[in-house]
């Protein structure tokens, strides 16, 4: 198979298209798609993950949660395995935010090890960003609480990938949480 595969490139293009009008909450208002590219790159380059469906699901990990794309769209375009990985890392946006946050802690340990990789890389990218920026509209207290909450989620994802967990632990140590 050629690398990157045609399917991988289509997936990247689909993520860029679906997130095209969305911006991150950093002061520069970076394109949202930068985040999903970061998550897939963390997995491929830092963690050495070669499971291409995991790398593609990382590109799509926020596409159902944050755009008009549906699980049916993802399944039709990219197949059942990628769709089920995306499903495992997607929050139910019909629930209240506090409930969603609680459920991430409660459900993290039950997810598959491939979905755990995506969740670890997602938290790592968000936390790296929070070390540099306070998102627009966030108080300092909210920023601090995100580190506390993220550690509670990550603690339910342990023994999955030592490289990612060491990178996350560096951040938790710097924050005085470990």
By annotation, the residues acting in catalysis are: 65-66
Class of residue 18 by CB neighbours under 10 A (exposed 0-12, middle 13-18, buried 19+):
buried
Instruction: Provide, rounded to whole angstroms, the least separation between the CB of residue 36 and Mn ion.
Output: 7
Query: Counting contacts by CB under 6 A, is residue 88 touching ligand G4P?
Result: no
**Residue nearest to ligand G4P as judged by C-beta position:** 25
CA dihedral 89, 144, 30, 48 (to 10 degrees): -50
Class of residue 54 by CB neighbours under 10 A (exposed 0-12, middle 13-18, buried 19+):
buried
CA distance 63 to 125: 16
Give the footprint of Mn ion on residues 48-87 (CB under 5 A): 62
Q: Show the site string, 115-154: x = touches ligand G4P by CB under 6 A, - = not.
A: -------x---x--xx--x-x----------x--------
Residue 72 to residues 30, 47, 112, 167, 173, Cα–Cα distance (Å): 28, 30, 21, 34, 41
The entry of Mn ion, ligand G4P, none that residue 26 binds, CB within 5 to 8 Å by partner kind: ligand G4P
Which C-beta is closer to ligand G4P: that of 113 or that of 145? Answer: 145
Query: Counting contacts by CB under 5 A, is residue 122 touching Mn ion?
Result: yes
Please identify which residue in 35, 114, 116, 151 interacts with ligand G4P, judged by CB under 6 A. Answer: 35
Q: Which two tokens stand for residue 26?
A: 């950093």
Which residue ranges make up the site for ligand G4P (CB under 6 A)? 24-26, 35, 62, 65, 97, 122, 126, 129-130, 133, 135, 146
Which residue ranges make up the site for Mn ion (CB under 5 A)? 62, 122
């Amino acid at each position: 198979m050629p690398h990157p595969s045609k399917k991988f490139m289509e997936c990247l293009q689909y993520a860029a298209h679906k997130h095209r009008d969305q911006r991150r909450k950093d002061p520069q208002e970076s394109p949202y798609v930068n985040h999903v590219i970061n998550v897939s790159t963390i997995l491929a380059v830092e963690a050495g993950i070669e499971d291409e469906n995991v790398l593609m699901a990382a590109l799509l990990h926020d596409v159902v949660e944050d755009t008009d794309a549906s699980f049916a769209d993802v399944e039709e375009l990219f197949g059942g395995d990628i769709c089920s990985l995306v499903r495992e890392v997607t929050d139910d946006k019909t629930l209240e935010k506090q409930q969603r946050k609680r459920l991430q802690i409660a459900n993290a340990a039950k997810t598959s090890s491939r979905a755990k990789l995506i969740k670890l890389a997602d938290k790592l990218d968000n936390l790296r960003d929070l070390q540099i920026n306070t998102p627009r509209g966030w108080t300092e207290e909210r920023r601090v609480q995100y580190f506390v909450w993220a550690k509670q989620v990550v603690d339910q994802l342990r023994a999955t990938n030592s490289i990612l967990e060491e990178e996350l632990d560096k951040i938790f140590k710097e924050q005085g949480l470990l």
